[in-house]
Each structure stands twice: as structure tokens, then as C-alpha cells.
A and B are shown apart, each in its own frame.
Chain A
């Protein structure tokens, strides 16, 4: 089985990973809920819960709604704030996860993005910064920076100046052209992009005749969004030179391979963790057989193979 590790290995922005599988931010906490279920060191890495400067409770409930082959969430960046993340969560995470972790950073102002990014950049356990300029569930933050090329460029440029570690910018699909935003953040110095964040959606409660979510709208994720995500990964990977981390509705080893063929260097898995807490373990274990089936010797060799 020693060979299996090599077959799955990829390198993301200069950091070697045993495999491309990354539980997505907001679906994996700080890892320790899952560490009770399996050895999470088998993951490529994971992206921890989005961090802001101040503690945030997030939105009122209901925050979750069922959708066809997916779900809506409007959690609203609940997190204990960067001080508590560094003081309490990262040490607890370190006890169960020894690889470099991806630190997901969100914010409501340029200053906040700069401060939180530089604080987490200084942490030994952090391998990459994933800059979330695409949260659809907070007002005046997150997505506001990621839906306009010039503001995306300015926040990435500012954060680029203060962080030493690889900077991956998480992009919103809720834009006219995700390719234009991707090119703008590449020009601003991003080391990589990750996409897609959730698609803005809503449901209405038939009995109450009101929006089902307290926040009215929420982010749609789950298997249903996979084709949309794959298309955007394909388009972005064809337009930028920096690595692309693909995500959106990935639920199987086959989906992972499709994402990589489209041009993803690594693949994040989100909503699927919530319905099957062992999803990432299962996918990593399934990959070698699925690779054999399609004649793939190494995952690194297929990145972007479907591009023209």
C-alpha cells in the first residue's frame, strides 16, 4: 500500500499533500469533532471555520433548509474571534491534526482582513491562508469584497503584503464573471484561488408564507451544485496560471477526479461531511480503485487534463 500515497500526492502552492482532499471551511469545525470518528491526519489538510477579528454569534435560526440534492445555510460566520481561535482552538486542533492546516479568514473591512490574516499567518500550524471574500450570509462583509474585481484586487493586495504563507482566495459564484475576479486576484498576488463558495438561494415556508431562513437568503451547496462548480473551475483554471482548489457539491472519488481533470490541484468537500461524517475518509479510500478503473497512475498527472 506504500505506493498509494504517491499516487494520490499533490503539491498545493509549494506545500506537499498526501492527497488532494480538503474538508471545506464551515463543515469541519476545527477538526476535533471528526477526530473522534477517524484519524483526520489521513486528510490532505482541512480548512477551519472562517475567522473574524471579533467573536460572532452569526445569524438567527433557522439557519438551515433542505433543498433538492442539497441544502441552504445561513450560519453567518459564527466563530469565537481570532484571539480565541489562536488561544484555544488551534492548540486543541494541534492535538488531533499534525499537518499544516488551511486558515480561513473573513472580514468586514480591509483592516480586519489584514489583521486576522497576519495573526493567523504567524501561527506555526497554519500552512495556507484561505481568504474568504465570498461569504453570502453576512451583510456588508465577505461577498461584498468578492463580487467586484477592483475591491477583490485591493483586499488581496493588502493581505498579500502582510502574509508570508501561500494565499488562496476563495471566490463567489454569485458574480457576472468569476473568471474576471480570478484574474484580478491573481494580478493582485494571490498564490491560488478556491471556488466555488455557495450559490445564493432561498426557500419559502408554505404554511407561514415567509422565508424559511431567518436570514431570508442562504448559500446553496450539496450535490446539486456540482455541475455549476465544475464549469467554473474549468473556466477559471483555463484562465489563470495559479493553482485552483475546486469545490462545490463534491460527494465521491469520481467527483474529485472530474474536478482535477477540469483543472483543480486540490479538492474541497463541504456539505457531504454533514450527511456522512466519514465522507472524506471514504473518498480517500475509494480513490485508488477509481483511479485504477480509469487508468490514472497519479492524480498530479491529470490536473487540467480535460482542458483544451
Chain B
């Protein structure tokens, strides 16, 4: 974990409520896809955890959905503004378990962290298929970005206004054979993927956090191998340890 100051280079709307922020700063602690950063915002007490969309050579890209006061404030920030950011948080995905044909499944604001993962897997020569699930056509983002990496992209929307109508699990057959699953999204989606997936896999969870680095026990969950902290031992859990509680 490292604390450093990042400068906003770009902050633009991708959809009606999803924004992309590009920052410059020290990205050296971000070592795996699926990690997150924790941002201190003026006038707010707790830092805001945001998943890393991409990080390379001092350029950090975040894609975030406006869900509350913190993310609303982020969307109002202009290029040139500086932010106090803790980087290198969370375990992230393990790319070495992908096999030849990994299947990546993202729902809504769970889509962004899969980008850096897909980028590394494509670069490693994997045949990557990505399923992106959204509520409606107006919520779709990042499809072209995944395609540009060389991944095959299937999109579902709940109302059928874009791609295949229904949930992400509805296009598993179309995705074909896969060797491993990586997933990030709302808990009901993760659970559906868990039940539909025929392989082992990694699932990224979300929880309200206090510190983001394992000190406060604010985001604990039960697993088959004992209690874990979503922020420090997660946010990525492997399929074999997950306990569904809620």
C-alpha cells in the first residue's frame, strides 16, 4: 500500500451515471488486476474505494458509477485537481489460473475491473470471452474497449434494448467452452454466475469499508476457510471458499 497524490487528467461521462477518470501519479503499487484504490475527498470523512480499471506507467484509469455523495463529488472534479489516493489495495485476480479460454463476466459497475484483467489475459495469448451485463441500452459502456483488446464480447441487457435480452447467465451457452471464470458485479449476479459456471473461478465482492486496508473489520465476510476481510483478503474470493449468506 502506498499513499500518493494523483492529478486528474480527464473526467468524462460514459453514460448518464457512469464516469471515467484518468489520473497521473505513482501506480507502482498496483500489481494485479482487480485491486482497488481508496480516495480521500474534501469534506468527506472516509476514503472512497474505487476499483482500478487500468493502471500502467503512471496512468491510473477509474470508471465509477455515481451512487452517493462521494462519487457525485468525484464527477464534478476538473482536470488539474489533485487527489490523495491509497493504491495497491486488495488481492486482485490471479491471472495464472485462467487456462486457455477464460470467461470474464461483469455486471454494471462490476465491468471496469475486468478490463485490466482482460488486457493481461489477451496479452498472454488467452482466448478471452467477456460477458457484459447491463440494465438497459443507455447503461452500456466499455464494449468497444474490450473488443479493441482482442476479446470476444457478448452484451446482455435486462430489458433487451441492447444485445441479448436477460441476464449474463443467459449467454453462457453462446460463450462456448471456457477454462475458468472471473466475475465482478452485484451479489445476485455473482451468485447466478457461481451456480451457472461449470469451472472454478474468482469472484470480486463489494462491501462498505472503513479503512480499506484490513484494520477496522468493517467489511468482514465468512468463508469456508474462516473470516476474511473484503478489503484486504479480498475483494476477490475463489469459488471454492465462498459462503453465500444474505
A interface residues with partner B (beta carbon < 8 Å): 26-29, 33-34, 36-37, 49, 57-58, 61-71, 73, 75, 78, 222-223, 271, 273-278
Contact = CB atoms under 8 A, between A and B. Distances in A.
Interface stretch (B165-173, B194-202, B207-215): B207-215
A235 B129 CA distance: 65
Interface of B: 1, 3, 40, 44-47, 69-70, 86, 207-211, 213-222, 227, 232
Given A29-B214, A73-B216, A277-B211, A66 B46 contact: yes
Contacts of B3: 276-278
B215 A61 contact: no
Given A34-B215, A57-B222, A58-B220, A274 B210 contact: yes
B66 to A, nearest CB: 13
A57 B1 contact: no
Nearest to B219: A61
Contacts of A58: 217, 220
A78 B220 CA distance: 9
A65 B208 contact: yes
A28 B215 CA distance: 5
Given A71-B46, A275-B40, A62 B222 contact: no
Contact of A64 (B44, B219, B221): B219
B211 A62 contact: no
Given A64-B46, A222-B45, A274 B216 contact: yes
Nearest to B208: A62
Nearest to B84: A276
A83 to B, nearest CB: 15
B229 to A, nearest CB: 10
B215 A78 contact: no
B187 to A, nearest CB: 11
Given A61-B207, A277-B1, A66 B45 contact: yes
A61 B221 contact: yes
B221 A70 contact: no
A26 B216 CA distance: 6
A207 to B, nearest CB: 10
Contact of A62 (B40, B46, B70, B207): B207
Contact of A75 (B44, B45, B217): B217
13 contacts: A29-B215, A33-B214, A33-B232, A57-B227, A63-B210, A64-B216, A65-B208, A66-B69, A73-B218, A274-B215, A275-B45, A275-B46, A277-B1
Contacts of B40: 275
A58 B227 CA distance: 10
